[in-house]
Each structure stands twice: as structure tokens, then as C-alpha cells.
Structure 1
């Protein structure tokens, strides 16, 4: 048949020299779905406060990147989606980014590790692979989470413009570790999948819920798992 056999976790991990981890999902979940929605609404209230009064009086819809209307109620269920919509806005982008730093720092304080995450990082490191975190979360937030856990992570590539799915962050990662190195991304975020695919990096999706699985499948992962256990088993075999 013409269909290629599905890669296994062991295949993908064995081929990788550098394993890139998304922050939200593979390592921890700073925002519950309810908290993420609340943070998104917090950012949207900033947008409304700072919009052009003439637009507001005329009843014009809020617009984001490229002048496309921003859906205020249904689709924007995560603060990063709000930031992506307005990141290019010279006034709102920096305001929203600063506010999101605050929200993320607060959220990460009590964040629990994804089951198996610490073991996976340590096992991959012991196998000779180098690890880095790639995320649109604030870099300070990631360091605050990682440092007390003493995880062997070589580098953190946190939020900077342009946000993913733009592949610029992945390009920086590849430059840092060497373009000829073999990379693998483990992520729960469709934007990170898209960025990786644009740079030719294979992707394992970690789906903690059916909704996340649908988004990852649509974005096009090489493999999707619903827990870190199969990855940890594969890491032990390296």
C-alpha cells in the first residue's frame, strides 16, 4: 500500500538528538480550561478599554491581525489566542503581553507537573539527548516552574514576537543547537505543531483531552498520545 507505517514513540525518540518540549501540556497545565477562559476574558477587557472610541461608538467589531474581526465570545478560550490576535498591534500587543506575564506568573505558582513529565525529561537526558522548552509562555514563568524541580533542560525559548505558529522561534532553536541536529517536538499546542512542521521538525502530540486531540490531529502530528506513559516506556528503551 502507499500509506507509510505509523512511527512509534521509540522510532521518533531514537532518531532525535534534541527533544523540544512545549510547556503547557507536556510539562504542566498552568491554566485549567476555566482559568484559561477567565484569563482570556481578562485580556479582552483590556482590549475593550483601549480600543478606538470612535470604533466603539460606531459599533464596529474588534479587529485583530490583518483587520479580521475578533470573535469575543466563543473561539477565544485561551489567553494566548487573544495575544496572537492582537500581537501585531503596536499599542495593544505590549499591554496584553505584560498583562499575560502577570496572569501566567500567578497561574504557574500552584501548577502541578503532568504525570510522568519529570521522569521523561530525566530519562531522555540520561539517554544522551538534550532537552529544551519551546513555548509562547513567558520565559520567566517557565524558569520559575523548572528551577525548583531541577530538571535537566538546556535552554528555554519563551515568548517573543512573532508568536507561533510563525516558525521564527524554531529557527532560533535550530541555530542554537546546530541546523544539522535531529530535532523532535513534544507538544499539546496546534500553533507549536504548525511552527515545527514549517521547519521540518517531527512532532509527537500529547493530548490530555479529546478537544486537544482534535486540534492536534487537525494540525498534523506524526503521532498522538493521550498520556506520557508510552513516551516514558520508549525513553527507557533508548
Structure 2
């Protein structure tokens, strides 16, 4: 299965363009954002757990990172409310479930084997710093070998100068909206851009976004870039 598998091309999916599809397990649905592979795949998805649903115990053969968008995600390690970012590196294991239901943004099989950081952090506990333009702030979630994950906060009316991300970028709009010369991205939108893609974003009414950069180079994509091109 290949979904948005050409990593040399930009892609945008807005809420009205996404559809929930059933997973192999009852009560668990997915919106597949990008994917290379079948049930075991390099994948980026929104996953929705119905109240009381669960996923079978499994090992993360390629690592897993996720952000809880709504509700509370749980496993044997704890309860993770909306706003929690979790990294489960290669070789970790858990049995996820949700008592009252939740939605997570999850990325699978995208870990550097040397990246062994295993942690969770809530956005309320982050320290924001100057983002390099008036009204733009960011807070670190993770950083490893050129791959960075942040929460970026835009004040109403703020903008950022024209720039590109040498290693590509991926953005999920959590609140508000963002606009650039390529389009408008309301809350719930997901955007992925290849290395060297230029834009000049701004937010008319304010925005909160999850942003990942530096992870879309051929070296980072490895065999998945070859599979997508093949």
C-alpha cells in the first residue's frame, strides 16, 4: 500500500479531505496520511479509539511517536491526556487502550536506531522561546541528529519570513489556522513538504501547530524512499 508515498512532492490533507477507515481491531479507526507498506508500514496516521477499545500488545519494530489530540490514551505505562507527546523507540512494547475514547497523531517505523529516548511530555510543561519573528514562539519536544519536533505558537497577525527546511517539514494544525502562498490550513490539517520547499507563512487569527523537520532527506527515509520510488 502506498499513500502519499512520493516524498519529493508536497502534500496537504485538510479535515474535509480525510476519511476514517476501519483498522483490523474493533473500535479503532484510522485516517491514513502517508504510508509505505501494508499493516506493518512506515506510516503517519490519525487514529481514533472508541470508548473501551484497545489494540493488541505489540512491539515497536521501527519505533513509534504520537501526540494525543483528543481524550486520554492509556497503556500499562500510564494515562496520557490530550496535549501529551510520547516517544516509544525501537524495541519497546505496550498494549494501548482508551477508556473514554481518544484521537492520536501517530508516526510508525520512522526512528533512527540510535535514537533511544523513551519519554512523554505534556504541552503545559513546555517552555516556549522566541521563534525568530514577532509573535511566533516554539517549544522543543525532541531533537536528534538534525531531526526536530516542536510545538509552534503563532499570535494573531503574526508572520514568518520566506524560508525553507533543508530536511523537509511536516505540520499538523492543532488550533486556529495557518496560511502561506500555497494555501490555507485550518485546524486538523496535515501538511508535508520536501527538502528545499519554500514558503512564507502567517496566521491571521492565531495558530498552534505540531511541527517536525529534518526527517525527509533520502538518508533519513532510507529504504522507504526507495520503496516509494520503485
Q: Quick one: higher RCO (CA 8 Å, sep 6+), 1 or 2? A: 1
Q: Which structure is higher in strand share?
A: 2
Both proteins in one fold, TM over 0.5: no
Q: Give TM-score, length-normalised by structure 1.
A: 0.26
TM-score, normalised to structure 2, is 0.27
